[in-house]
Chains A and B, each alone.
With several copies, the nearest count.
Chain A
Amino acid sequence: MGGYGDVKLLNDDGTRLDGRKVDEMRSVEIKAGILPNADGSAWVKHGLNVAICAVYGPVEAHPRKIQRQDRAVIDVRYNMAPFSTSDRIRPGYNRRSREISKVTAEALESVVLVERFPRSKISVEIEILAAEAGTRCAGITAASVALADAGIPMRDLIVGVASGKIEDTVVLDLDKAEDNYGQADLPVGILPTTGDLAFLQMDGDLSPDEFNLCMEYNQKAAKEIHEVMIKALKEKYEEGA
C-alpha cells in the first residue's frame, strides 16, 4: 500500500471520489464461453479491469514427472498484457505474476474435484487486458466461471473480491487511486455457498476490528458477484441449447 495520507479519497459527505458509498462495489459484467478454442472461457469486467480466462483440459499431464497419481494438477498462468497498465510492462512473467499464479492455482485446487482426474492437467490461462486495481480478484472470478464453462466439477465457485482502508475508513472494492494512496487492501476468494475462504492476501495496516469489517463487506459483495457469475453461465447454456 502506498499509504500516502495527504491525498484526499473521501468526499465531505462520506462518499468516495467516484461517488460510491463505502460499502459499494464497482460494476461487474461477466460473459462465459467467449473463446472458440478453449474448453471453457470467461470475460470479466470489474470496474475498468478486464480479465479473460481460458481453461484447457483435463488432458494427460506431461512431462510425466508433473503427474499426480491421485489427482489432476492445476496449472495457472496469471499474466498482464504489456498494454494493460499505465506504464507498459515488458512481456513475460515477473515475481508478482508468479506469486499470484501460485496462490490462485492453490485456491482453485481447493474447489475443483481434482481427485476425479488422476494423472491429468487442467490449464487455466488468465490474461489481464486492462488493470485498474483488483486484477487478481477479477482473475479468480474469471477462472471460476471458465472452469464451470468447461464442465469441470467443482465443490463451489470462488468469488474474488477485496476490501481495504482509506483515510482510516474501511471501504469495499478499492479502485486505482484508493489502492495507490490507501492504507490497506484485503483481497480474498470466497466460496459463496459456505462463506469459506480459498484465497487470502492482505497488506497495509488493519486493526482486528477493521479486518472484521473488511471481511463483512467482502462476504456481502461475494454474494452479489456470485449472482452475476451464475447469470453469465446460464446465458451461455441457454444460448448453447
Chain B
Amino acid sequence: MVELVPQLLRQELADLAAMGKRRDGRSQWESRHIELEVDCLYNADGSAKVTWGDTIVYAGVKFEIRQPWPDRPSEGSLMCGAELRPIAGKKYEPGPPSPESIELGRVVDRGIRESGCIDLGSLCVIPGESVYGVMVDIHVVSDSGNIFDASALAAIAALRTTIVPASKFDTGEDHPLKITKTPIMCSFTRVGGRFVMDANADEELGGDERIHITLGDDGHLHSLQKGLKGVFSPAEFAEILEVSQNQCDVLRKMVESAGGN
C-alpha cells in the first residue's frame, strides 16, 4: 500500500508544528467543540450522544440478571465494550472485533472501573444467587479523530443518567444507578514532533503515538495507555499529565451539568 498522502501530510504537520500551529487553527492544548446529549435512546437504560468536532459517538447502558462469580458472591459486574463498525468511516471494515475496537473498549472500561465510580456491591440482588450485570456499549458512528475521549465521555455520561430497570426483573422498583465519581479521559497525540490535545482525523493520519490518561475527581490516575508507534520521554509525559488535569476538570463539569443521578 502506497501511503503518499500521509508522507505529504506529515511534512505539512511538521512545518505547522515548527510555527506552533495546527491545521485547523487550534492551539496545542485546545480541544474541538463538544456537545453532550443524554437520555437520548429509547430502550437503553441510560444513554448519551457525544458530538466532538465531526466525531459522533453513542453509548447505551443495559442491565442483565446473572449469577455472581463464585469468588465475589455479593458483587455485580460492569462491562464496557466498543464497536467500530463500517458506518464510522471508510477505513473500517466489517468482520470480527478489530484490535482497535478491543483496545478502545478496554481502555474506556479500565478508566471507569478503576475510578471506583460504581460500587459493585450495590449491584447485588441476592448474595450468592443473583446480581446485576451492567453493560455499557459504545457505538462510534463517525470517526473524525479522538474517538477515545468521546467514547469515555459518552460512557460516563450514559452511566450517570442510568435508571436500574428493577421492575422489569421483578427485583424492586426502578431507581437511579448510583454513580459517585466522574472519571474523564484526556488523550494526546504526537503531531509534527510534539504532543497535542484532541487530534483530529488529519492529525491522527499524519501523527505518531497516542497517550490516553484517565483521571478521577481528585486528579489521581486511574488508567494509562500508550498506543501506536513512537516513544516518549518522562518529561513529555509530565507535561501532558499536567495539561490533562485542567481539561478533565472542564469535561467533568460538562458531564455533571448534563444532569444525572
Residues of A within 8 A of B (CB): 1, 3, 35-38, 48, 50, 52-54, 56, 65, 67-70, 77, 79, 81-88, 91-92, 95-96, 98-99, 101-103, 106-107, 109-111, 123, 125, 127, 129-132, 186, 191, 194-208, 211, 215, 219
Asked if B220 contacts A35 (CB within 8 A), the reply is: no
User: A36's closest neighbor in chain B, by CB?
Assistant: B54
9-residue interface stretch from B17-25, B121-129, B138-146, B170-178: B138-146
Asked if A203 contacts B102 (CB within 8 A), the reply is: no
Asked if A106 contacts B227 (CB within 8 A), the reply is: yes
7 A-B pairs within 8 Å (CB atoms) are namely A82-B81, A82-B135, A86-B43, A130-B44, A204-B222, A205-B220, A207-B221
Tell which of B7, B56, B102, B113 touches A35, judged by Cβ atoms closer than 8 Å: B56
* Chain A residues, Cβ within 8 Å of B106: 95-96, 99
Tell which of B7, B141, B224, B233 touches A127, judged by Cβ atoms closer than 8 Å: B141
Tell which of A54, A70, A82, A125 touches B60, judged by Cβ atoms closer than 8 Å: A82
Q: A101-B99, A130-B43 are in contact. Are A37 and B85 (CB under 8 A)?
A: no
Q: How far is the CA of A200 from the CA of B139 in the complex (A)?
A: 26
Tell which of A67, A84, A102, A208 touches B1, judged by Cβ atoms closer than 8 Å: A67
Taking the complex as formed, is B137 at the interface, i.e. its CB lies under 8 A from any CB of chain A?
yes
Please classify the interface of chain B as helix (H, G, I), strand (E, B), loop, or mixed, using the class held by over half of its residues: mixed
Query: How many residues in B have their beta carbons less than 8 Å from beta carbons of A?
Result: 69
* Chain B residues, Cβ within 8 Å of A211: 221, 241
Bitwise, B190-232 to A at CB < 8 A (1) or not (0) is 0000000000000000000101000010111111111111111
* Chain A residues, Cβ within 8 Å of B88: 37
Taking the complex as formed, is B62 at the interface, i.e. its CB lies under 8 A from any CB of chain A?
yes
Q: How far is the CA of A88 from the CA of B168 in the complex (A)?
A: 13
Q: How far is the CA of A206 from the CA of B234 in the complex (A)?
A: 16
Tell which of B83, B105, B224, B231 touches A198, judged by Cβ atoms closer than 8 Å: B231
Q: How far is the CA of A37 from the CA of B143 in the complex (A)?
A: 7
Asked if B139 contacts A95 (CB within 8 A), the reply is: no
Interface of chain B residues 134 through 171 with chain A (CB within 8 A): 135, 137, 139, 141-144, 168
